[in-house]
Structures are given as structure tokens and as C-alpha cells.
């Protein structure tokens, strides 16, 4: 007779949003293994109907407080694509900077406050205030620096103010560029001990081959804001065809819609991006990857956290490069815009459909809007990274459980929690849209 | 001094206001010298049913949430509605513009029946609230002020004058003069005119003043040829839940 194991984690902690883990092993046989999303639905796509396309960014930013800038940028891209607006080179450059800042901010939060406690054997960062005071202080300091740079660039990180359809309502002055640069350079000095700390963390052993999906391009740039859709199984297509990748489908055991591309599931996020575009990382980021032994193609999902660290270095160094370039070129502040709801017709509007495909901290994010000739939204669709990852998380759980059945129940539970946390799931994001599974109670 | 036990709870929201706490930087450690955080699901695994102050984020949008907030109210000596979703219903209130059945079917199609949903209510429409921190997201200086008041048992009143007052002090050019509509004239101050300082309009996220200068507002609308309907539609982005009474 095999063993019976029941894992039931209600309201998984240290993730964004509400999710439950359910594992049921009977007589040594895995009967059930699920990640249930129990976040209350918010109906964002419905709420957008009838609103002005110039409000879409403001509203969809509120899908998620952690990736507010990512939603903002995906929303703006979709909106501009729909109405046929082409942003200036300067606007694009500043948007890339904003995306880097959020990537850095979000990854640091995840590595330090959400994952490190597991690897150091405590329940949260709070006990670490006593035992690892310098580490906690560093984490909060780095997080605050990202936040301060965002304050300068777009007014604030949580729900950015000045980044809108058409460009920016406020552009940085020379002294703002200097202030951002000096904050990031201080952050750079804290990055060193962060890397040293990361080297000491031991991640669980686990391998499962899967397909990695993200943006790809033909240039030397590590694609975050723009590109085609690609995968490690060789898919490549225009972003407009995103539904061919996400292929939402219904699974028999629940009403959940899952995503799959070339095989049973796929993964998006930092690990997917590093696997797809390793050669395009900043040399310093590549050096860190080498130092911690991360190379393409890595198939241990726990190492998504390590990939986030590598991306932190990339995003930091590339942010500094962008600001230094802006300092040399100078910011053309005549591009500042006043748009509101476009009452003054500052931006030309036409009917159409547009897609935004942007790499946000947790993976590729899609927004799609259809607008009428007055710029009113008639249809909206958003597909969130965590929604795309759900299927892959479950497949990982199904492979991992039988491999660790000799461990104590608590250890199995912790491993399952750590696995889900490694994906840095943004459950309130994913639950606001389609990929939601319902569980009674 | 014995530390006051504080628990954070999240309902329907983006959790950005909780994140604002992490964005305080090292100042957070000073705050943690005064309070003991016993539950904060987004960043902690610890859980507790023993707390003095409940900081509640998010609006009430399911029947399950109604029961949960009632339980929290029973335990907490002090309840703080934290962020616009909790304080005024916020952006989730836009759902109330639609028939619930229709919006559910639009988003979840044939799976719609699985989703328990009720009209979006602010927390104070379901249980009594002691302190309110509006804002989408909350403005941290105001949160600190409220926290200090709550810990010392003093009242805190959200400013009841218009954002315009702060905006003038910040010497911003009026958005109406730039040719766009702004909700500053009817929205409660306390954010230091955050959005207008950054070149954008006020979207009314802090809720409406209790006694708006109606005639003044009408003059502005007439002068700039703006319809009431237009302004109302904008107001309903954050303030739709105001139309509901208390949830019995």
C-alpha cells in the first residue's frame, strides 16, 4: 500500500491575489493536483465597454498594483495600435525605461520579500528584521529607489500618472535625469551584495521540459516592449496572432480555461525570456547568469527567481544606459501633451482594433481593444501572464509530487508553495479575466 | 509600551495600496517599531485572529466577502478603510453601470454562473468604519497621519475641500484652461493634487466633497461648453457606488 498525502493550502501567502493549492495522493497514486484561483472576479473587460479609449490605460492600470506600469504600457500599445497613432522615438525610449524600472522593482520585491524567507526557513521578512537586519534594510532601500525613480518619471509607480496614449503629460528635465541616474547608481552598489546573497541560496532540484514563450526580434535588443511572439519550440508570429499562442481551452475536471501552444503547456516570465533571448542580455547580466550557473535552456521552474535576478541586473544597466543617452541627446520637452479624454481632439482617432504585447515582470501580457470611430471601446480582451502559466504550474506540480512522496507532509506542502511562488503569480491579475477556475467555498 | 496588533486584509482590489506600504522603504521599519503586524497575506505567511486594528483594502463584491468583513469588524477594535476601493467602492463600482448578469456573461460567457457577484459596495456601506484613507493608490503621508490618529485614539477627517485648493498652492495651470475637463473642483483634497502636478487631470479617485460648489461648477461647465452627462460619466469611474445605500 502506498501513502496517502493531502495538501490543502487555502489562500497561499506571499503572492499577489488569492489562490489555493490542492494535492491529493491516495495509496501512493496522485489523484488530484490543482492550483485553484479563488480571487473574486472584477469584470474589467466588461467595465471598459463604452468608455473612451483615452481612459483605458487609467482603468486597466488598476488591474494590478504590482504590474501597474506593465498594464499601462500594454494598454497604451493596444490603444495606439487601434486608433493608428505612432509614438515618437523619444516616447518609445521612455516607455522602455519605465518597463525596466517596473521589472526591477517587481523582481526585487519577489526575490527579497516573497522568496528569500522560504530559502532562509522563516515565514516572512518580519523575523528577518531581527536576524538579517542589513538584508531587510537593503531590500527596502532598493525597492524605494525604484519607486523614487518612477515618481520622477511618471509621478508614481503604483498607477503611473503621466504615461498615456500619445506619450507623456510630463517629461523629465535635465535635473530629473540627474536625480534618476544618481538613484540608480546607488542602487547599483546594493546590487552587488544582492548577487552575493543570491549565490548562497539553494533552490530545490527539479526538471521538466516545457515550451518557453515570449517576445523575440531580429535586433540585438533584449525585447521587452516590442517584438514578435516566439517560443523555444520555434514558433514565430506577429503579435496580432496572439490567440494562436494562448489557445485558451477548457479542461474536463473544471471550468478553467488553460493555455497551450505547441505542447501540453507553456511558461512565460523571466525564465522564459532568459531562455529565449540569453545572448541579448547586458554583458553584466550574462556574467551574473554565468556565476550562478543559469544558462539556456534551464528547465527548473524554481530557477525563475534566479532568472529574475539576472534580469534585475539587465534592467538596471539598460536603464542607466537609456538615461545617459537621453542626457546626451537632451529631452525634447515640447513633446509634453495635454490629452484628458481628447476633448480638444489633440490626437486623431479612427475605428479599429489594436493589440498590445508587452513583457511585464511575470511574462508576456496581451491587451486587445476594438474602438468605434469616436474612440469608444466596443470590445476588450486581456490575457495575463499568470493565466498563461497556470497550466504549466499544474503540470509541474503533477511531476514534482510523485518525486517527493518520501518527504514529510509539511515538506511537500512547502515545496508546492515554493513552486507556485517561484512563478511569482499575480493572481488578482489573472482572475480578473478568463483563466479562472472556480472552487466551491 | 505594548505594541498594537495590526492586521491587513484584502478584498476586491489590485493590492496596490498594500504595495504602497512596502514602498515606504526603511521608514517602514520605524512604523514596525510601533505596531506589530500579525497578518498581511501579500507579504507574510503568518496568520492571526487576534488584532486591535484591521486595515481593510478593497471593495465588497461577493456575498462571501460580506460575511468575511462582518467577522473582521467583530474582532477589530478599530477598522480602517484603506484605499479608494474600500473607502468609496472605487473603480470596481463601474461594474454597477451594467446589469450584473450581462457583464458576467460578457467576461465569463457560459462559465458566468460560477461567479458569485453582488453590486460593488464600499466597506462603510456594509459595516461601520472608524477611519478612511481614500486614494487610488493611497497617499502615504496621509496614511501615516491616519495611522498616528488611530494609534492615539484621535479622530481623522478626510479633507472636505476640493483638490483645486491644493492644486492652486502647487501653482499648476488649470486643466480647464488647457482645454480638458478635470474633476478637481468636486473631488476631496488630501493628495496634494498628485495627478495634476504630473500633467494629468483629476479622475476623482478620492471621492466627492460633501458640499460641492454647485453654481461655481455649473459656471465652469458653461464657460467651457461641457455637458453634465460628460462629467457624470467621468465621476462614475470611481464614485458609482455612492448611489447604493447600506447593505442590509
Tens of pLDDT along B214-231?
Answer: 888 888 888 888 888 888
B23, B95, B203 ranked by CB distance to A144: nearest: B23
| Contact between A40 and B116 using a beta-carbon 8 Å cutoff | yes
β-sheet bridge partners, residue A124: B44
CA B110 to chain A, closest CA, distance in angstroms equals: 10
- Whether A100 is in a domain gets the answer yes
What is the rounded distance in angstroms from the CA atom of residue A132 to the CA atom of residue A126?
10
**A1 has a pLDDT exceeding 70:** no
Size of interface A-B (CB pairs under 8 A): 200
Give the residue from chain B lying closest to A380, CA to CA. Answer: B107
CA A194 to chain B, closest CA, distance in angstroms equals: 16
Q: Tell how strand A363-371 and strand A377-383 pair up.
A: antiparallel
The number of C-alpha atoms within 13 Å of A6 and in the hemisphere containing its C-beta is 2
- With beta carbons under 8 A apart, name residues in chain A contacting B198: 154-155, 161-162, 169-170
- Whether A279 is in a domain gets the answer yes
- Residue pair A312/A204 in contact (Cβ under 8 Å)? The answer is no
Q: Name the E strands within A143-243.
A: 163-164, 167-168, 211-216, 228-231, 236-237
State phi, psi for A158 to the nearest 5 degrees.
-80, 105
- Whether A436 is in a domain gets the answer no
> For residue A216, what is the DSSP state?
E
Structural domain of residue A113, as residue ranges?
5-431
**A376 has a pLDDT exceeding 70:** yes
Rounded to a whole number, what is the distance in angstroms from the first to the last CA of chain B? 40
- Mutation test of the interface with chain A: which of B107, B119, B179, choosing the one with the most A Cβ atoms within 10 A? B107
What is the rounded distance in angstroms from the CA atom of residue B194 to the CA atom of residue A154?
11
CA B246 to chain A, closest CA, distance in angstroms equals: 21
What is the rounded distance in angstroms from the CA atom of residue B166 to the CA atom of residue A248?
48
Per-residue pLDDT reduced to its tens digit, A252-285? 444 345 678 888 899 999 999 999 999 999 999 9
Q: Tell me what the mean pLDDT of segment B184-205 comes to.
A: 97
- Mutation test of the interface with chain B: which of A340, A380, A384, A432, choosing the one with the most B Cβ atoms within 10 A? A340
Q: Tell me what the mean pLDDT of segment A152-167 comes to.
A: 97
Give the residue from chain B lying closest to A378, CA to CA. Answer: B106
- Transcribe A318-384 into DSSP letters: HHHHHHHHHHHH---GGG----TTTTT--S----EEEEEEEEETTEEEEEEEEE-TTSBEEEEEEE-
CATH of the domain at A306: 1.10.645.10
- DSSP element (H, E) containing A21: strand A19-26
Give the residue from chain B lying closest to A63, CA to CA. Answer: B14
B92, B181, B237 ranked by CB distance to A340: nearest: B181
Per-residue pLDDT reduced to its tens digit, A117-147? 888 888 888 888 899 999 999 999 999 999 9
What is the rounded distance in angstroms from the CA atom of residue A169 to the CA atom of residue A331?
13
- How much of chain B exceeds pLDDT 70, in percent? 95
Give the residue from chain A lying closest to B179, CA to CA. Answer: A344
- With beta carbons under 8 A apart, name residues in chain B contacting A335: none
- Going by C-alpha positions, the residue among B162, B159, B167 that lies closest to residue B192 is B167
pLDDT at A69: 97
pLDDT bin (cut points 50, 70, 90) of residue A386 is confident
When the pLDDT of each residue in chain A is averaged and rounded to a whole number, the result is 89
- With beta carbons under 8 A apart, name residues in chain A contacting B62: 40
| Contact between B16 and A46 using a beta-carbon 8 Å cutoff | no
What is the rounded distance in angstroms from the CA atom of residue A50 to the CA atom of residue A47?
8
- Whether A48 is in a domain gets the answer yes
Q: Tell me what the mean pLDDT of segment B118-135 comes to.
A: 96
Helix locations, chain B, DSSP H: 16-22, 27-34, 63-75, 84-88, 100-108, 140-152, 163-169, 194-197, 214-223, 228-239
State phi, psi for B233 to the nearest 5 degrees.
-60, -40
CA A58 to chain B, closest CA, distance in angstroms equals: 9
pLDDT bin (cut points 50, 70, 90) of residue B76 is very high
pLDDT bin (cut points 50, 70, 90) of residue A435 is very low
pLDDT at A247: 78
B116, B182, B203 ranked by CB distance to A58: nearest: B203
Cβ neighbours around B244 below 10 Å, total? 15
Residues 6+ apart with CB under 8 A from A5: A23, A24, A25, A401, A405, A409, A412
- Residue pair A386/A427 in contact (Cβ under 8 Å)? The answer is yes
Q: Tell me what the mean pLDDT of segment B184-213 comes to.
A: 95
**B107 has a pLDDT exceeding 50:** yes
pLDDT bin (cut points 50, 70, 90) of residue A432 is very low
Per-residue pLDDT reduced to its tens digit, A208-226? 999 999 999 999 999 999 9
pLDDT at B213: 83
- Transcribe B86-134 into DSSP letters: HHH-GGGGGGGGS-HHHHHHHHHGGGGGG------B-GGGTS--SEEE-
What is the rounded distance in angstroms from the CA atom of residue B49 to the CA atom of residue B59?
21
| Contact between B16 and A68 using a beta-carbon 8 Å cutoff | yes
Cβ neighbours around B140 below 10 Å, total? 17
pLDDT at A440: 28
- Transcribe A125-158 into DSSP letters: HHHHHHHSHHHHHHHHHHHHHHHHHHHHHHS-SS
What is the rounded distance in angstroms from the CA atom of residue A176 to the CA atom of residue A173?
5
Residue spans of the domains in chain B: they are 4-152, 163-241
| Contact between B194 and A68 using a beta-carbon 8 Å cutoff | no
- Residue pair B127/B69 in contact (Cβ under 8 Å)? The answer is yes
pLDDT at A325: 98
* A30 or A159, greater pLDDT: A159
- Whether A248 is in a domain gets the answer yes
**Chain-centre distance for alpha carbon A94:** 19
- Whether A440 is in a domain gets the answer no
- Whether A439 is in a domain gets the answer no
**A436 has a pLDDT exceeding 50:** no
Number of domains in chain A: 1
CA B35 to chain A, closest CA, distance in angstroms equals: 12
β-sheet bridge partners, residue A52: A376
* A381 or B41, greater pLDDT: A381
Q: Tell me what the mean pLDDT of segment A313-333 comes to.
A: 98
Say if residue A38 is preceded by a cis peptide, omega within 30 of 0: no
pLDDT bin (cut points 50, 70, 90) of residue B100 is confident
- DSSP element (H, E) containing A276: helix A270-277
- With beta carbons under 8 A apart, name residues in chain A contacting B199: 161-162, 168-170, 336, 338
A65, A117, A338 ranked by CB distance to B180: nearest: A338
Residue B135 CA: distances (Å) to CA of A110, B85, B90, B132: 25, 8, 9, 10
Per-residue pLDDT reduced to its tens digit, B15-33? 899 889 888 888 888 888 8
* A350 or A249, greater pLDDT: A350
| Contact between B180 and A341 using a beta-carbon 8 Å cutoff | yes
- Mutation test of the interface with chain A: which of B8, B14, B58, choosing the one with the most A Cβ atoms within 10 A? B14
**A197 has a pLDDT exceeding 80:** yes
pLDDT at A439: 32
| Contact between B103 and A168 using a beta-carbon 8 Å cutoff | no
Burial of B218 by CB count in 10 Å (0-12 exposed, 13-18 middle, 19+ buried)?
A: exposed
* A221 or B34, greater pLDDT: A221
- With beta carbons under 8 A apart, name residues in chain B contacting A438: 111, 114-115
The CATH number of B4-152, from 3.40.50.700, 1.10.1530.10, 3.40.109.10, 3.30.470.10, is 3.40.50.700
**A11 has a pLDDT exceeding 60:** yes
B13, B22, B106 ranked by CB distance to A109: nearest: B22
Instruction: For cell 514529510, name the residue.
Output: A408
- Going by C-alpha positions, the residue among A140, A99, A89, A347 that lies closest to residue B26 is A140
What is the rounded distance in angstroms from the CA atom of residue A31 to the CA atom of residue A434?
26
| Contact between A62 and B91 using a beta-carbon 8 Å cutoff | yes
| Contact between A124 and B24 using a beta-carbon 8 Å cutoff | no
When the pLDDT of each residue in chain B is averaged and rounded to a whole number, the result is 90
Burial of A253 by CB count in 10 Å (0-12 exposed, 13-18 middle, 19+ buried)?
A: exposed
pLDDT bin (cut points 50, 70, 90) of residue A202 is confident
- A286-291 — which CB contacts under 8 Å span 24+ positions? A286/A310, A288/A195, A288/A313, A291/A195, A291/A199
Give the residue from chain B lying closest to A427, CA to CA. Answer: B14
pLDDT bin (cut points 50, 70, 90) of residue B136 is very high
What is the rounded distance in angstroms from the CA atom of residue A240 to the CA atom of residue A229?
9
pLDDT at A248: 67
pLDDT at A372: 97
Burial of B150 by CB count in 10 Å (0-12 exposed, 13-18 middle, 19+ buried)?
A: buried
Residue A185 CA: distances (Å) to CA of A108, A153, A182, A298, B100: 16, 16, 5, 30, 50
B191-204 burial, b at 16+ Cβ within 10 Å, e below that, comes to: bebbbbbbbbbbbb
- With beta carbons under 8 A apart, name residues in chain B contacting A136: 29
Amino acid at each position: 500500500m502506498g501513502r496517502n498525502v493531502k495538501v490543502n493550502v487555502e489562500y497561499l501567502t506571499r503572492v499577489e491575489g488569492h489562490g489555493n493549492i490542492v494535492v491529493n495522493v491516495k495509496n501512493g497514486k496522485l489523484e488530484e493536483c490543482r492550483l485553484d484561483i479563488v480571487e473574486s472576479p472584477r469584470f474589467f473587460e466588461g467595465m471598459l465597454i463604452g468608455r473612451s479609449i483615452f481612459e483605458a490605460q487609467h482603468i486597466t492600470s488598476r488591474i494590478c498594483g504590482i504590474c501597474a506600469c506593465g498594464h499601462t504600457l500594454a494598454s497604451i500599445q493596444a490603444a495606439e495600435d487601434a486608433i493608428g497613432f505612432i509614438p515618437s522615438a523619444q516616447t518609445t525610449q521612455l516607455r522602455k525605461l519605465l518597463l525596466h524600472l517596473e521589472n526591477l522593482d517587481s523582481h526585487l520585491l519577489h526575490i527579497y520579500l516573497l522568496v528569500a524567507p522560504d530559502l532562509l526557513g522563516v515565514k516572512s521578512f518580519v523575523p528577518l528584521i531581527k536576524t538579517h537586519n542589513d538584508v531587510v534594510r537593503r531590500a527596502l532601500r532598493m525597492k524605494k529607489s525604484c519607486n523614487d525613480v518612477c515618481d520622477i518619471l511618471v509621478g508614481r509607480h503604483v498607477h503611473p500618472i503621466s504615461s498615456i496614449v500619445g506619450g507623456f503629460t510630463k517629461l523629465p528635465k535635465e535635473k530629473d535625469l540627474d536625480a534618476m541616474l544618481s538613484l540608480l547608481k546607488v542602487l547599483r552598489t546594493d546590487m552587488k551584495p544582492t548577487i552575493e546573497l543570491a549565490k548562497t541560496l539553494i533552490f530545490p532540484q527539479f526538471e521538466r521540459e516545457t515550451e518557453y514563450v515570449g517576445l523575440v526580434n531580429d535586433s540585438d535588443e533584449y525585447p521587452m516592449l516590442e517584438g514578435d511572439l516566439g517560443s523555444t519550440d520555434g514558433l514565430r508570429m506577429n503579435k496580432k496572432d496572439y490567440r494562436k499562442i494562448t489557445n485558451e481551452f477548457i479542461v474536463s475536471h473544471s471550468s478553467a480555461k488553460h493555455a497551450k501552444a505547441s505542447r501540453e503547456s507553456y511558461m512565460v516570465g523571466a525564465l522564459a525570456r532568459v531562455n529565449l533571448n540569453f545572448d541579448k542580455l547586458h554583458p553584466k547580466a550574462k556574467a551574473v547568469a554565468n556565476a550562478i550557473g543559469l544558462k539556456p535552456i534551464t528547465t527548473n521552474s524554481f530557477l525563475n527567481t534566479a532568472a529574475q535576478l539576472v534580469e534585475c541586473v539587465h534592467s538596471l544597466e539598460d536603464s542607466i544606459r537609456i538615461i545617459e543617452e537621453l542626457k546626451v541627446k537632451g529631452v525634447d520637452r515640447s513633446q509634453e501633451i495635454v490629452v484628458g479624454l481628447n476633448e480638444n481632439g489633440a490626437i486623431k482617432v479612427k475605428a479599429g482594433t489594436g493589440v498590445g504585447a508587452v513583457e511585464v515582470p511575470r511574462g508576456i501580457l496581451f491587451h486587445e481593444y476594438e474602438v468605434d470611430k469616436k474612440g469608444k471601446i466596443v470590445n476588450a480582451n486581456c490575457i495575463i501572464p499568470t493565466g498563461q502559466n497556470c497550466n504549466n504550474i499544474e503540470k509541474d506540480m503533477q511531476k514534482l509530487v510523485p518525486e517527493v512522496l518520501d518527504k514529510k507532509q509539511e515538506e511537500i506542502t512547502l515545496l508546492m508553495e515554493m513552486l507556485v511562488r517561484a512563478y511569482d503569480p499575480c493572481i488578482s491579475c489573472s482572475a480578473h479575466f478568463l483563466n479562472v477556475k472556480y472552487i466551491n467555498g | 509600551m505594548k505594541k498594537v496588533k495590526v492586521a491587513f486584509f484584502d478584498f476586491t482590489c489590485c493590492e496596490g495600496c498594500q504595495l504602497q506600504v512596502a514602498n515606504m522603504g526603511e521608514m517602514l521599519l520605524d512604523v514596525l517599531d510601533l505596531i506589530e503586524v500579525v497578518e498581511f497575506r501579500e507579504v507574510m505567511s503568518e496568520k492571526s485572529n487576534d488584532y486591535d486594528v484591521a486595515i481593510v483594502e478593497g471593495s465588497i463584491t461577493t456575498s462571501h466577502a460580506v460575511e468575511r468583513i462582518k467577522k473582521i469588524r467583530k474582532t477589530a477594535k478599530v477598522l480602517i478603510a484603506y484605499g479608494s476601493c474600500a473607502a468609496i467602492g472605487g473603480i470596481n463600482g463601474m461594474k454597477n453601470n451594467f446589469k450584473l448578469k450581462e457583464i458576467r456573461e460578457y467576461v465569463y460567457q457560459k462559465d458566468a454562473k460560477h461567479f458569485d457577484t453582488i453590486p460593488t459596495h464600499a466597506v462603510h456601506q456594509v459595516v461601520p468604519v472608524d477611519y478612511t484613507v481614500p486614494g487610488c493608490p493611497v497617499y502615504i503621508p496621509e496614511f501615516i497621519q491616519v495611522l498616528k490618529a488611530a494609534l492615539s485614539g484621535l479622530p481623522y477627517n478626510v479633507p472636505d475641500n476640493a483638490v483645486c485648493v491644493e492644486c492652486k498652492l502647487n501653482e499648476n495651470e488649470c486643466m480647464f484652461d488647457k482645454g480638458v475637463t478635470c474633476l478637481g473642483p468636486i473631488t476631496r483634497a488630501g493628495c496634494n493634487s498628485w495627478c495634476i502636478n504630473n500633467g494629468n487631470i483629476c479622475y476623482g479617485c478620492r471621492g466627492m466633497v460633501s458640499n460641492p460648489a454647485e453654481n461655481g461648477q455649473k459656471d465652469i461647465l458653461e464657460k467651457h461648453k461641457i455637458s453634465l452627462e460628460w462629467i457624470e460619466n467621468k465621476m462614475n469611474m470611481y464614485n458609482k457606488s455612492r448611489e447604493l445605500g447600506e447593505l442590509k
